[in-house]
Amino acid sequence: MNTIRSRWLSRKMVEEFGKSATATTSSTETPRFWPSLLRWIPTSTDHIINAEKRLLSLVKTPYVQEKVNIGTGPPNSRVRWFGSVSNEPRFINTVTFDSKDDAPTLVMVHGYAASQGFFFRNFDALANRFRVIAIDQLGWGGSSRPDFTCKSTEETEAWFIDSFEEWRKAKNLSNFILLGHSFGGYVASKYALKHPEHVKHLILVGPAGFSQETERITKFLSTWKGSILNQIWESNFTPQTIIRGLGPWGPDMVRRYTSARFVTHTTGEMLNETETSLLTDYVYHTLAAKASGELCLKHIFSFGAFARMPLLHRALEWKVPTTFIYGIQDWMNYEGAQEARDQMKVPCEIIRVPQAGHFVFIDNPSGFHSAVFYACRRFLSPNPDSESLPDGLTSA
């Protein structure tokens, strides 16, 4: 009996893996009236937005949530997401926090397999000094999830860069500080290279794209194990596929991850029980929804998360003053940022935050806030030249 049940479960998971990668409707194929407890993947767009609201209930600063219409695409665009299956308008999920009238604008962009709610521990502190706007990138979180039809690195970069530019136009923004984490740092960098006139300072938090493939990875890929893993990578098998395939068991896997990463094995300030519960719920719904932006993975990065078009190769073209922020225990190598800084012709600094890993803004919020305020001292302090690096932070 157990053998039959195991075979059925395995077959069901395989079927769901296939569905999750090719789904063409909104967050779930299940009719809205079907009880969520009976769905194989118990999520929907409404679940995402409601989970976001519950998570942001921890934030004291008032905010406005909106879906910013970015249309079907910029004029003469050849990027296929703009047409996708239909010409329906696309939207970028956006939250804007109350601030002083003269506060500089800080736009925050999340990383891969994340959404703007990951910054929930930072919004209050940052909103005291900035006009904070956080977004879900196209194909992530509560934003539209068009069919992902890009076939090259160039098309994939344009998907994110051009949709962000359409969002900027719709919000009528310019002269803002742009902060990106991990993959969001990669997108923010590429955007600033293409549209430097709109960004007055770039803050890259553990950014992807500055490290180059190592000899160790090259040797590993030549082995049979490396070859198999590389084939899986090139098939665009994403972590979210596993979550969807697990169906009703997906939320428990996400809970185990968030509890392990941000509580049991945290490198800094652990989440409390309420934070863990709300973040787990939010993360599950954003990961289990329809595959869209996540399918950028193999086009942007090769196995090992090394950029196919490294930012290091474009350091000489940099036009925007930049601050890199890394957690001391970040698995992203800051040495690539050092090499890029040596080639840049604009001001650039690298700050390292103690008791923090890749999610430095969750692991050590106060240290992260100090690093951001120091990075933006030209816009926040009447005497920026007299400002010294805050205690605990180190310069690389």
Chain mean position to CA 249: 24
Count structural domains, the chain: 1
CATH of the domain at 114: 3.40.50.1820
**Residue 12: inside a domain:** no
pLDDT more than 70, % of the chain:
85
Residue 68 pairs in a beta bridge with 92
The dihedral over CA atoms of 179, 389, 311, 91, expressed in degrees to the nearest 10, equals 0
Evaluate whether residue 220 is within a structural domain. yes
> What is the pLDDT at residue 79?
53
Question: pLDDT tens digits for 60-99?
Answer: 999 999 999 998 765 555 554 444 555 677 899 999 999 9
What is the band of 342 on the pLDDT scale with cuts at 50, 70, 90?
very high
pLDDT for residue 43 is more than 90: no
- Is the pLDDT assigned to residue 116 strictly greater than 80? yes
User: Is residue 192 in some structural domain?
Assistant: yes
According to the model, what pLDDT value does residue 267 have? 75
Residues 49 and 46: their CA atoms lie apart, in Å, by: 5
In a domain, 170, yes or no: yes
The boundaries of the domain holding residue 287 are 38-393
pTM score = 0.86
Output the CA torsion 317→320→321→322 (10° steps).
-80
What is the percent of the chain with per-residue pLDDT over 90, rounded to a whole number?
64
pLDDT at 213: 64
Task: Note whether residue 223 is domain-resident.
Answer: yes
Does a structural domain hold residue 158?
yes
Q: Tell me what the pLDDT averaged over the chain comes to.
A: 86
Q: Residue 29: inside a domain, yes or no?
A: no
| pLDDT computed for residue 32 by the predictor | 43
Any domain includes 312: yes
